[in-house]
A and B are shown apart, each in its own frame.
Chain A
């Protein structure tokens, strides 16, 4: 993917470039807000990564201006401002995701992948399928090999979230934020516990296994 990084910190930018290179992303970087606005407006990027505190033009105003001009490129705020209101401001300004520094590189990579898929957002069908697993969103029922599997509400939502991002690594934080609505990381491994319950229900008695764990990164639902 071609990424535009608007970040004034030289070292942070270098680290990002290096960290994202193995994912096959090409990172173009600008160091101040105005230049960033011009570069983003010229188009041709799959995802924008924007720092909030920038010289020239702050990140919020930059993205608001872009969205006002009709530029819909997915944007992710990457910032040290981690207050609850800060996050809300970022999303209101038109940000598609908000990641607070410091972050794990795997987390950023997963979120960039998720944003890249969204461009353009594919229409989500009413029935999600992978191999012989079937999830019906209208009735909230899940079947594998035609057998109905009973899931608790949270398990169902985790499965739905993974199926919507089929073949893509989803991190714990993404699940906490999007399924649970937690903007904090609980001390208890509630995501892991739900994944193991989910795996026991959808994978244990069937082949092939669909739910995969990537150590230090997250989870993925896929056939292979």
Chain B
């Protein structure tokens, strides 16, 4: 089974199929050439034999007319003269009367025109003769005279042509298949290299470029275009990152300073109501700063650089710790937290980010699951993946909205009165994606179920 896949891959390459097609064409051409040669040669040889046989027949018929002797005597006379032809005189009762070869009655019955017969068809001929070609001559009294010539050369020619054809066919087939295999392997190696480079680029290393060969072939032309495209993408991403960082930084600094002023001012004025105003201003500002922090964190996760620091993470222990951490807060808001966590679920990942992923989901329950009385964390391994489900029995999300909720700044409450900024789930999704996992929302009726699926190589 393990060999099947690479071989099938090889057969599927366009290089191999092209080689197969040209191999088919070469074989067809060779067959045509051999067919023509065979026909021309056989035609010439047959003509010569047929002429000799007709000549012999005419001689013996004219002898019969002149000397009025029985056929057997004439055959004897002709043989005595020599001439290289073969004769067999069969009487009316089927007995052999004269000649220099014998034949079985079955063959005598089947032989009725100018035909070629081999020894094994029922001929008794000298050892060096392998085939005869000739005609039967029927006489009025029921006697039959078979006149034939040695056709061994014709047979040998046919065999020679067949052998040469098989040899040529075999060589072309072998060379063609070898050519197909090697060109397909070369193509496959090139394409796999492209693929590996592209995967590296997708996983975050935008500086990678596709390697060029020295040949300047069509792959190099493709690679040149792709490298130019990658260069452009890298520049654009660089620009984007720069601009985003600049914006974030430029906006953060004045906001941070404003916060400092507010904080200091708060301690200086003692008019009634003022501290509350300052507190409110600080809270608003903190909210804005939180959005920046979340956006920068998402950008950091999406850049993929954290993957370099992946290590073994015990998801079970992490979830147990989170359960213990969130249970008191959820309990205080009237939500009982239940868990069903399989022990020792481990994967390679970023512990801090995974912690933030699940913390965000639990935060959402504490903040948004209206009317919930129960929440649960379940975790189990299934088909080489770790499936973590965080669910509540609160008001949930309308099924039509579940897709939208994982987008940035998406809020269920369109008036935006509820706390939050709509980045928590987006960050959770980007963390799941960083781990090559996925996050899905499902209506639990009642409530909401968030299913996180993470790959866990066995």
Q: Indicate if the CB atoms of A190 and B329 lie closer than 8 Å.
A: yes
Please measure, in the bound complex, the distance between the C-alpha atom of A82 and the C-alpha atom of B263, giving whole angstroms: 21
Q: Interface residue count for B (Cβ, 8 Å)?
A: 42
Q: Which of A11-19, A117-125, A165-173 contacts B (4 or more CB under 8 A)?
A: A11-19
B296 interfacial contact with A, CB 8 Å:
yes
Given the complex of chains A and B, what is the CA–CA distance between A84 and B331 in angstroms?
A: 31
Asked if A190 and B297 sit within 8 Å, CB to CB, the answer is no
B325:A154 contact, CB within 8 angstroms = yes
Closest B residue, CB atoms, query A53: B249
- B324, A12: Cβ atoms closer than 8 Å: no
The interface stretch among B45-53, B150-158, B235-243, B252-260 is B252-260
Complex contacts, A182 vs chain B, CB 8 Å: 352, 355-356, 359
A139 CA / B332 CA spacing, docked (Å): 30
**Which A residues are CB-close (under 8 A) to B305?**
85
Cβ of A35 within 8 Å of any chain B Cβ, yes or no, is no
Per the CB 8 Å criterion, the residue count for chain A at the interface is 33
| Complex CA–CA separation, A181 to B350 (angstroms) | 13
> How near does chain B come to A191, taking the closest CB pair, in angstroms?
9
- Given A182-B359, A187-B366, A188-B362, do A101 and B328 touch, yes or no (CB 8 Å)? no
B-contact 0/1 string along A155-183, CB 8 Å cutoff: 00000000000000000000000001111
- The answer on a CB contact under 8 Å between B296 and A187 is no
CB closest residue in chain A, given B300:
A83
A88 to B: closest C-beta gap in Å? 8
Q: Are B328's CB and A193's CB within 8 A?
A: yes
Taking CB atoms, residues of chain A closer than 8 Å to B424 are: 187
Candidates B255, B260, B296, B420; contact of A83 at CB < 8 Å: B296
B419 CB within 8 Å of chain A: yes
Could you tell me if B329 and A193 are in contact, using CB atoms closer than 8 angstroms? yes
Are A102 and B352 in touch, CB under 8 angstroms? Answer: no
Tell me whether B408 is interfacial, beta carbon within 8 Å: no
Q: A154-B324, A184-B356, A184-B359 are in contact. Are A18 and B264 (CB under 8 A)?
A: yes
* A152 touches B (CB below 8 Å): yes
A11 touches B257 (CB 8 A): yes
Q: Mark B343-378, 1 if CB is under 8 A from A, else 0.
A: 000000001110110011011001100000000000
Report B341 CB to chain A, min CB distance, Å.
Answer: 15
Which of A104, A152, A154, A187 is the one whose CB lies under 8 Å from B363? A187
Select which of A154, A181, A189 is within 8 A of B352 by beta carbon.
Answer: A181
Contact across chains for B264 and A82 when beta carbons are under 8 A apart: no
The answer to whether A84 touches B306 (Cβ under 8 A) is: yes
* Complex contact B296–A102 (CB within 8 A): no
Q: Does B123 contact A (CB under 8 A)?
A: no
Given contacts A181-B355, A188-B367, contact A82 B260 (CB under 8 A): no
Taken together as a complex, chains A and B put the C-alpha atoms of A185 and B294 apart, in Å, by 10
Residues in A178-216 with C-beta less than 8 Å from chain B? 180-190, 192-194, 196-197
* CA of A71 to CA of B287, assembled, Å: 39
Interface: B289 (CB within 8 A): yes
Q: Which residues of B contact A83 (CB under 8 A)?
A: 296-297, 300
Decide: A101 near B332, CB < 8 A? Known: A154-B325, A188-B366. Answer: no
Contact of A187 among B249, B264, B353, B367 (CB under 8 A): B367
A-B contact count (CB 8 A): 92
Q: Pick from B260, B290, B420 the residue with the most CB of A within 10 Å.
A: B260
Separation of A189 and B333 alpha carbons in the complex (Å): 11
Contacts of B324 in A (CB 8 A): 152-154
Chain B residue numbers with a CB within 8 Å of A80 are: 249, 252-253, 256
Give the residues in chain B near A85, CB-CB below 8 Å: 300, 305-306
A15 touches B363 (CB 8 A): no
Q: How far does the alpha carbon of A11 sit from the alpha carbon of B332 in the complex, in Å?
A: 42
Q: Which of A15, A102, A189, A192 contacts B289 (CB 8 A)?
A: A102
Contact A101/B252 with A83-B296, A83-B300, A180-B325 known, Cβ cut-off 8 Å: yes
Question: In the assembly, what is the distance between CA of A184 and CA of B326, in Å?
Answer: 15
Asked whether B31 is an interface residue with its Cβ less than 8 Å from the other chain, the reply is no
In-complex Cβ contact of A154 among B297, B306, B321, B355 (8 A): B321
A105 at the interface (CB under 8 A from B): yes
Taken together as a complex, chains A and B put the C-alpha atoms of A184 and B356 apart, in Å, by: 7
Nearest A-chain residue to B420, judged by Cβ: A187
Question: A3-38 vs B: 1/0 string, CB under 8 Å?
Answer: 000000001100100110000000000000000000
Compute how far the CA of A188 lies from the CA of B329 in the bound complex, rounded to whole angstroms. 7
> How far is A12 from B289 in the complex, measured between Cα atoms in Å?
17
User: A24 to chain B: closest CB distance in Å?
Assistant: 16
Collect the chain B residues with CB atoms within 8 Å of residue A101's CB: 252, 256
Which B residues from 417 to 439 make CB contacts under 8 A with A? 419-420, 424
> Does B171 reach chain A (CB closer than 8 Å)?
no
Is there contact, CB below 8 Å, between A197 and B328?
A: yes
Neighbouring B residues of A185 by C-beta, 8 Å: 290
**Known contacts A11-B257, A102-B256, A181-B355; is A190 also within 8 Å of B293 by CB?**
no
Instruction: Closest B residue to A192 by CB, please name it.
Output: B329
Contact A102 B255 (CB under 8 A): yes
Q: Which residues in chain B, 60-116, are within 8 Å of chain A measured between CB atoms?
A: none
Interface string of B277-301 (1 = CB under 8 A from A): 0000000000001100100110010
Show 16 A/B contacts (Cβ-Cβ < 8 Å), sorted by A: A11-B257, A12-B260, A15-B264, A80-B256, A82-B293, A84-B306, A84-B353, A85-B306, A152-B324, A182-B352, A187-B363, A188-B329, A190-B325, A193-B329, A193-B332, A197-B328
- Give the top 5 A-B pairs by smallest Cβ distance, nearest first: A193-B328, A102-B256, A187-B363, A193-B329, A188-B366
Q: Which residues of B contact A (CB under 8 A)?
A: 249, 252-253, 255-257, 259-261, 263-264, 289-290, 293, 296-297, 300, 305-306, 321, 324-326, 328-332, 351-353, 355-356, 359-360, 362-363, 366-367, 419-420, 424
